[in-house]
Amino acid sequence: MKNSILTLAIAGSLASVLASVVAAPASAADSTSKEKCYGVAMKGQNDCAAGKHDCAGKSTISYDKMSFKLVPTGTCTSMKTPKGHGSLTPA
C-alpha cells in the first residue's frame, strides 16, 4: 500500500514539473506578440490600469481612451470602434 502511494506521489510531482516546463515558453511567446491598444476595450474587459481605475476589468466605459486591451502586435491602429480607431498611446 505504501509503495503505491509513493509511486503516485512521485508520478504526480513529475507531471507537475513537466507541465510547468512546457507552459513557460508558451506564455513568454504570447507576451512578446501582443501590444497595448487603447480605446478598444469593452466595459469591464480592459487588461490594465489607466486614469480612473487601477486594474484589469475595472473600466466603467466601453472604448475608454485611457484603458488598454492587449492585442496581436500590428493590429491596434487598424481596429475600428464606434468611437474611432485603436491607439498605441493613451488619450
pLDDT digits (tens, 9 = 90+) for 47-75: 876 666 667 888 888 998 888 899 999 99
Instruction: State how far Cα 84 lies from the chain centre.
Output: 23
The pLDDT of residue 84 is 93
Q: Phi and psi at residue 28, in whole multiples of 5°?
A: -65, -40
* pLDDT the model gives residue 56: 80
In this prediction, residue 7 carries a pLDDT of 65
Question: What is the tens place of the pLDDT at every residue in 3-56?
Answer: 667 565 555 554 565 565 455 444 555 557 999 999 999 988 888 766 666 678
d(C-alpha 58, C-alpha 56), whole Å: 6
Other residues' Cβ atoms within 10 Å of the Cβ of residue 68: 27
Task: Reduce the DSSP state of residue 51 to 3 states and report it.
Answer: coil
Name which of 47, 80, 44, 74 is nearest 59 in CA terms.
44
